[in-house]
Structure formats: C-alpha cells, structure tokens
Chains A and B, each alone.
Chain A
Amino acid sequence: MSVELGHYALVLALATAIVLSILPIWGAWRGDRPLMELATSGSLALFGLVAFAFAVLTQAHLASDFSVKNVWENSHSLVPFIFKFSGVWGNHEGSMLLWLLILVFFSALVAIFGRNLPDTLRANVLAVQAWVATAFTLFILLTSNPFARLNPAPPEGQDLNPVLQDVGLAIHPPLLYLGYVGFSVCFSFAIAALMEGRIDAAWARWVRPWTLAAWTFLTAGIAMGSYWAYYELGWGGWWFWDPVENASFMPWLAGTALLHSAIVMEKREALKIWTILLAILTFSLSLLGTFLVRSGVLTSVHAFATDPSRGIFILCILVLFIGGALALFAFRAPQLNSGGLFAPISREGALVLNNLILTVSTATVLIGTLYPLLLESLTGEKISVGPPFFNMTFGLLMIPLLLAVPFGPLLAWKRGDLLGALQRLYVAAGLAFFVALVFYYVENGGPVMAVLGLAAGLFLVFGAVSDLWFRAGIGKQAMGVAWRRLVGLPRSAFGTALAHMGLGITVLGIVAVTTFETEHVVEMKPGMTAEAGGYTLAFDGMRSAVGPNYTEDRGHFTVSRGGATVADVWSSKRLYTARRMPTTEAGILTFGLSQLYVSLGDPMADGGIVVRIWWKPYILCIWGGALVMMFGGFVSLSDRRLRVGAPSRRAKPVKAALEAGE
C-alpha cells in the first residue's frame, strides 16, 4: 500500500504544481498578497509531496519490492545495499523523479530564503518554477511512471547495469542535477523579471547565490562524472567529448558566463538584457541536455531506455519553455533601459570578453554535438564529430580566455589601467614561465607547446595569488596592516581567487597528462615485468574471485622502484552474473598527484594476457582543480553580502541612508 501512497503523492504533487502555476501569478498581477503568499507555503508542500514519493520509491528499492516495475527492471536482491540505493536514480524513471525532486527542492529553498525578495518577484519566480514542475511531473506520470506495478510480482529483479554499480555513480547524478536543475531558479528569476518588466542591480544580487550554488554543484558533478568514466570504463580517458558529457558541460560554460555577467549587472547595472538572456539560455541548455540524454536520440551509456513517446514529450517541454522564454524576451527586452557605460579596458570590459569567449565556445560545443543529429535527420548521412574537432575549436578558443583571466580582477571598474595590471602581473608571469621550464626539464622534454600550456596554468594560479597579494597590500604596508586587510577582504574575493586558481590547476593537470603521459600495451605472462613512469610492474598471475553478484579474474602486479617494492595492484575482468555482462576494473595506484593505471585486455592462447599500462603524471590535478573551484564557490556563497537585502527591523529610513551616502 505504501507504494501506492507514494504514487498518489506524486499525482497530488501535480495538482499542487498546477495550482501554484496559476494563483500566485494572478495574485502578483492584481497585487493580491494572500494569493502571492500561497506560493511560499505551496512550494514547501510541493517539495514535501515529491520528497515523500521519492522516499517511497527508495524504500521499494531497498526492500526489493519487485511488484514495482522500476525495481524489477533495475535491481536484484543480491545487489549490495549502496547500489540498491543508488539504483533508485540509476534508471530513467528514477532519475527523472530525482530531477523533479531537486527542482522542487530549489523552489522550497527560494520560498524559505527568499523573504528578502519583493512579494511579486517571489510569487512570480515560484510560479515559473511550478510551471517547470508541472511539465516534468506530467512527463513522469504519463511516460515514465516509476510507480508502475507488476502483478503477479516477479521473484527476482533484472539487476542494475553493472557499469552503474559504482560509488562514483551513486553521487554523480545527484550532484549533476543539483547543478543542472539549480539553473532553473535563474531561469525563473529571469522570466519573473521579464513579466514585471523591471530589472535592476538588486535583481542580480538576488540571483547570484542561486547561480553560484548551481555552478558549484555542476562543477562537482562534472568532475565526479569525469573521474567515474576514468576509473570505471577502463579506457584511461577522462573526457571523451561524448554528447552526454557535452550536455552537462554546455550549461556549465553558459552558467560560468552568467556568473560573471551578473557581477557587472550588480555593480554597474550594465549588461542587463544580456544577463537575462544568459539566464534563459543556461537553463535551456540544461533542458536540452535532459532531452539529449533522456530521449535516447544518442545511444550511449546514459540512455537507459529509448522510447519515442518520451523523446517527443521532452521535445515539447523543450520547445514550450525555450520558445516561450525567448518570445517573452524578444517582446520585453526592448523596454528595459540600458545601464552604465564603461571603457573597453575595464573590469566590465574584461567580463564582457569572458562572456564573449565562453558563449562562443558554448556555441562551438553545441554545434559539434548537434550537427551529426541534424545532418542525419535532414540528409540521412551519418557522421561522427569526435574529440579532434572539440580539441581544435574549444582548445584554441580557451587560450585567450586563460591568458586574460588574471587581468580581470586587477582592472578597475569603468576605466581600467592595463599597463598597471601588467606591471602587477609580470612577476606572476615570469614565475609561471620559470616553473614551467623547470617542470619541462624534470619530465625530460615533450612538445615545446607543453611549456606554454603549463605556463598558462601556472599563470592562472600565480595570478590569483597576486590578486589577493595586491589587494591586501602585502609588501607596501606593514605586515600587521596587510594581514588585517587580507582578513578583511570580502569572502567573494577569496572565492574568485580560489576559483581562478582551481581553473589553473585543472589546466596544469590537463596539459601534463596529455603531453607527458605514457602508454604501453604489452602481452604479459606471469613473471614478466613492464616499465612505466619510472616504476617496474611485475605480473604475478591471475586469480579467480567471487563478489556478491559477480565473478572476476584478477591479475596481481607488484610495483617496485629501483628494486624496492613500493606497492601492489590488482586489476580485474568481472562478469556480472545476472546480466552476463563483462566489465573491466582498472587497477589504479596513486603516487602523489600522479597515477599508474593498469587495465587488463584479452587472455592469449599461450597463457599470457594483454595488459595496458598508463603512467598519468599529475592527473589528479584535473579533478583537484575542480575541487578547488568548487571550494571557491562555497566560500563565495558564504559571503555575508549575499544575505543582504532582508528588510531588517533596524533598517534606517531610506533618506538617512541617502544622506550617509552623499
């Protein structure tokens, strides 16, 4: 019965979302406060209902209730507990329910933390959120109902796809969705502002924490997904420019642009129209990503099931929301007055450059991802646009951005002094170049471009440090004063520096791995050795082992350096029994920031086995940098100023504040 209660709760959530889509907007339009208030409590109720439905589905998965079709299709009584749990969203229906849960979670957060917003804005924002929720609840109930039942219940489930039976995957989708769906709040704010026809600097301040939160989670989600692909797929790659990866990367790029343009809007009230457009585009890209992944137009690990009715339904949602939003934008944007002026060389100018590059590179990724689909549907010709395309276009476009990033924070608003910024950065640049050369020497060569790449990454790191350095006035002021100034800097300054530094670290990792990586494919018999990254791997032989729901052949390697054994590593080929599906579990050894990656191939007739060994120098920098970026995001989020705007009791009358200001 509880399963059916969860089902009913989801249906009731649809009814609630419909009410929330209509009444608050009506209230905002007529200036009727009780109707606007309804949005707040209603959003909380909506969250409660969806959370209950999700909890029920989770319970069904944990209890292996195979009378629920979704459980039967994606679980098995012998799957370990954690994967019964992650199996809830390791499938189409469950992951859509998670999508919805996170959407209404953000609505609830806006309802709770949005007390400082004007009533009409909050009501409209929550109503727009409810539109999205209505569309997706309908989608779930009509095409992908996770509560569909089976009678009689089958005795055993069909098992979760073995590739998805991994801790990384247990965390990856929720993080990714927190980011993806978090941008819905920015979208709703943009639509609400367009409906009211009033947008100003305060709007940007209110949107910023949501953008920041979504961006932070999306950063984490993408990094997690990349690391998962790296160690679970056994191919040693960490980014494939797979359409599904691109689907999550495009909102990230657009979201990064949004984050920066919102700063200009907040400080100078400039770029208003652009910022609104970016907010719409970012969430549109999230929706597009959902469509690409969920409709099954791409065949990939992520397309759990393909069902044309689902694809068409999501396509309708996509067209409705993106088309509607852009139409509203086209209709309203001309009425918005433009804001402050600035010189090309200024903080604003730098942020415009950032936006230009980020949006253009988003566009290239979009073209590369959609072009094969378009070409096939138009001409029937099948082509593939692979990594070379993306590396060439995206890689080249990123170079000017990376070089420009350290300048941005050092330029003044309105009219900047490029020469002054250069003077402040030449130490960082020189140091970056020097360290890159040392690095190059230590790693014994490689392409000369590697030095430039490394220098660019290091320049970002040192540039971020210089920013804080000069702001605190270290060197100019007495140490004590400088320290006080450093501590007194707003948290967002640290957040900016950390995020830029993290980007630099990621670039370092990418350059180091692509240029200094070594790969050996060798056929090994027990007793044979192979060399990689200065380490010697001795193959000791294969052993059979049995896991809870798989059997595996594990190869054992002893790793030594200079004759002394340092570690040993297992690498295995698994066969998941329920689906008779083989997987490769790579053996990974971490030395500092570098890794040794051992993956097994096919056994040979003569008792040997093909072994693929990679030495991946500084690869952890790639994800470490993402972690630093994420940390920067959290530091910025904790900035006191983001909470400002709540009408506090001791707020001075406006006039007094004005006098204080003048």
Chain B
Amino acid sequence: MLFWIIVAILTAAVAIVLLLPLLRGAKERLSDRAGEAAVYRDQLKELERDQAQGLITPDEAEYARAEVGRRLIAVSSGMEKQVARGSGLRRIRLAEIVVVVTLPAVGLCLYSITGSPELPSQPLEARLANPGNDMGILVTKAERHLAQNPEDGQGWDLLAPIYYRSLRLGDAELAYRNAIRLLGGNAERWNGLGETLIAAADGIVTDDARAAFEEALKLDGSNFRTKFYLALALEQTGKQAEAKAAFETLAKESPADAPWIPLVNEHIAKNGGAPLATAGAEKPLGNPTAEDVAAAENLEAGDRQQMIEGMVASLDAKLREDPKNIEGWMRLIRSYGVLKQPDKAADALKRGLAVFPADSAEGKQMLALAQGMGIATEGNEQ
C-alpha cells in the first residue's frame, strides 16, 4: 500500500513540475535573438583586442569587422520583424491534459506489465540476518562461516550433501573430503563422497569412488548404498558373474518391501540372473518411479529428508502470502504427494482450489494431478 502511495506522490510531483510553466504563463523576456546579438558583439570586442595586440593587421580587422557587423544588422532586423505571438489558452489546456493523462497512463500501464510491485528488496545482509527457511541463504551463511573457520568439520559435513543435491559437485567433493579429514570417516561421508564422484563422472564408478565405498564398507558392512555401488562397479568393469552375485546377495539381505528391490532386480537381470520375488508389484503406485529410485539411493539421508521438508514448508509459506501462483500450487501438491503426506497434499489442493476454482483451467490441472497421485479429491468435487 505504502508503495502505491509513494508511486502516486512521485507521479504527481513530476506532473506538477511539468505543469508549472504552463500554469505560470509566459514570462517577459528579452528578444529571442538577443543571445545572437550578444555573440556578435563579443566577436567585435575580440577583434578590437586582437588588433590592439597586433595579432591581426588593421586591414584584416576592418574586413572582419564589416562581416560581423553585417551579421549584427541581420539579427537586429530580424528582431524588429519578430511578432510577439501570445500563447493560446486552448493550447495550454490541451497541453495540460496531455501531461495529466500521459504520465499516469504510460507509467502505470507499462509498469503493470514489467514491474513486480509485490516483491520487497532483499539485501543479502538482511537475508543472512534472518534466513527463515530459505535453504540457499542458509548455505551461503554456512559458506561464509566456513570461509572464516575452514577447520570446522561439522560445517563441511552439513554442507556436503546439500552441495551434492544442488549438483555443485566440485564443492560437494571438497566438502566431503574436508569433513572426512577433520572429523574422520564414517560410512555416510564415504558414501556421499563416492556418490559425488560418480555423479561427477556421469555415472561411472571411478577408482576414486570405488575406494571411497570400500572405506565405507569397512566402517559399516550392512549399508545398502555401499554394496549397491560396489556391485555396480563390478558390473561396469565387465565382471558379470561377480556383479550378479553381489546384486543377488543384496536382494536377499534386503527386507522384502524395501523400495530399492526393483532397481536391484533390474541389475540382476542385466547381469544374466533371474529376479527374486519382489514386493515392488504390490506397491500402490505401481512401477518404481524416479522418486523411488532417488529415495532408495538416499535411504539414510535423514537430514536430506528434513531439508526437502524445509523447502516444501517454505514454498507453502510463500503460497499463503501470495496465492496467485499456479506453478507453486502444482509443485506443492506434487511435493506433499512424493513426501507421502496425503493429508497435507489434500489440504494444499483445497487451498489451491480456493484461489483457482475447480472449473477453471488451473483448477482442473490441479485436480488431475491430485487424482494421478492418489490424493483425496472428493471433498472438492462438487
């Protein structure tokens, strides 16, 4: 509101500045060509000076003086001919209308297209002081802290998976290595490092990555991720039989309803084995989705889960403030669906439909999404 008041004041102030000469009317002024005459008079004076100093010969001076004199006469005759034309009142009124209409019309029309009046300024310092649940800013804050205290292992440990998630792989590798150097290795860190290296090598389990997983295996012999990637390394180096055996062991050791079973089965099949009986087919969503795979690969990442929840919560908060954002609603519903929080998803749908009615294109879009994800939509379908 304050913004629009200032906008109004600014527009009015400029309009007044433009209107003032029109309202004040014409001032008396010396002839229009007085300025020209002054220039020529000055040229004459300069001639005198030059002649007095002997810079030009009297002949030259005389000739030049005649020339300047002619200009001066031309000017003065022009001055006499000049007719004082008054200012027409109608013209002034019309000009005033042009000013009063153009400023707000052009200003507001164009601004409403290009501007985003609802967005506040966000200087970095203020955001750092009050980060809320903005993940990016928390990361920046942590980075600044680490720039000051590079030996803080906890900090690196916290940042490393976040970097990995946001695909800043170089940073992630550095952070994992620092965390391992400062805090010592644990299965989680070695696994993370290994995964980072794989991602950086476009899915190839490099020697470095395999070494990392072997370290992890020493520390925790039961970790699914460790074993999976080590098996993958075997597969990629062409040791089919060993890879098959490793994947089969993995499948046997896993609980029957583990979400990664389909993925493992895929690899067993790829290496020439028969898939074990799976629990995958009984899953409510049918085939393993990308989310399942991602979830499987990050089984133990509790903090990661929290992080995602933080992001979703922040999106939720933003939508409460600014609900006219269909993309946001779609994302929120999908996120709650993936996070297996059907109540919240249903709630988000309800709030979204309050903004975009069910019979609007956006509403239909949201309903279709919710139905596809198995989220309760009954209450909204009237």
Contacts and interface: CB of A to CB of B under 8 A. Distances in A.
Given A38-B18, A145-B114, 4 more contacts: A7-B111, A12-B11, A63-B125, A413-B60
Residue of B34, B88, B134 with highest tally of chain A CB at under 10 A = B34
A149 B6 CA distance: 20
A77 interface: yes
A645 B92 contact: no
B166 to A, nearest CB: 10
Given A11-B107, A18-B106, A471-B55, A23 B95 contact: yes
A35 B92 CA distance: 7
Contacts of A8: 7, 10, 107, 111, 115
A412 B123 CA distance: 64
B21 A654 contact: no
A42 B17 contact: yes
Contacts of B102: 15, 18-19
A351 interface: no
Contact of A202 (B36, B67, B105): B36
B30 interface: yes
A153 interface: yes
B294 interface: no
Contact of B87 (A9, A34, A473, A644): A34
Given A40-B21, A118-B36, A119-B32, A77 B140 contact: yes
B124 A66 contact: yes
Interface string B35-49: 111111111101001
Nearest to A138: B110
Interface string B217-232: 0000000000000000
B79 A152 contact: no
Contacts of A11: 106-107, 110-111, 114-115
A142 to B, nearest CB: 8
Contacts of A661: 41, 44, 65, 68-69, 72
Contacts of B139: 155
Nearest to A22: B98
Interface stretch (A25-33, A92-100, A494-502, A532-540): A25-33
Contacts of B99: 19, 23
Nearest to B88: A32
A579 to B, nearest CB: 13
Contacts of A558: none
Given A34-B25, A201-B71, A65 B115 contact: no
Residue of B14, B20, B64, B140 with highest tally of chain A CB at under 10 A = B14
B85 A7 contact: no
A37 B26 CA distance: 8
Interface in B69-107: 69, 71-76, 79, 85, 87-88, 91-92, 95, 98-99, 102-107
A365 B34 CA distance: 42
A147 interface: yes
A344 interface: no
A646 interface: yes
B317 to A, nearest CB: 11
Interface string A115-155: 01111100000000000000000000100010111011111
6 contacts: A16-B14, A19-B102, A41-B17, A77-B124, A117-B35, A658-B69
Contacts of A151: 116, 119
A309 to B, nearest CB: 15
B252 interface: no
A654 B37 contact: yes
Contacts of A23: 95, 98-99
A650 B26 CA distance: 23
B68 A1 contact: no
Interface residues of A, number: 87
Given A34-B92, A119-B29, A149-B119, A5 B10 contact: yes
A274 to B, nearest CB: 19
Interface of B: 2-3, 6-7, 10-11, 14, 17-18, 20-22, 24-27, 29-30, 32-44, 46, 49, 53-56, 60, 63-65, 67-69, 71-76, 79, 85, 87-88, 91-92, 95, 98-99, 102-107, 110-111, 114-117, 119-125, 127, 134-137, 139-140, 143-144, 318
A449 interface: no
B114 A646 contact: no
A652 B45 CA distance: 13
A156 B147 CA distance: 15
Interface in A463-482: 471, 473
Given A412-B56, A641-B46, A651 B116 contact: no
Contacts of B56: 412
Nearest to B17: A45
Interface in A28-77: 30-35, 37-38, 40-42, 44-45, 49, 60, 63-67, 77
Contacts of A340: 67
A31 B114 contact: no
A468 to B, nearest CB: 12
A82 B108 CA distance: 35
B46 to A, nearest CB: 7
B332 to A, nearest CB: 14
Contact of A651 (B11, B21, B34, B119): B34
A4 B14 CA distance: 17
A565 interface: no
Contacts of B123: 60, 63-65
Residue of B3, B10, B18 with highest tally of chain A CB at under 10 A = B18
A658 B72 contact: yes
A601 to B, nearest CB: 26
B115 A7 contact: yes
A118 B32 contact: yes
Contacts of A485: 53
A149 B35 contact: no
A5 B114 contact: no
A3 interface: yes
B265 to A, nearest CB: 40
Residue of B6, B114, B137 with highest tally of chain A CB at under 10 A = B114
Contacts of A44: 17
Contacts of B140: 77, 155-156
A205 B127 contact: no
Contact of A15 (B22, B49, B107): B107
A116 B35 contact: yes
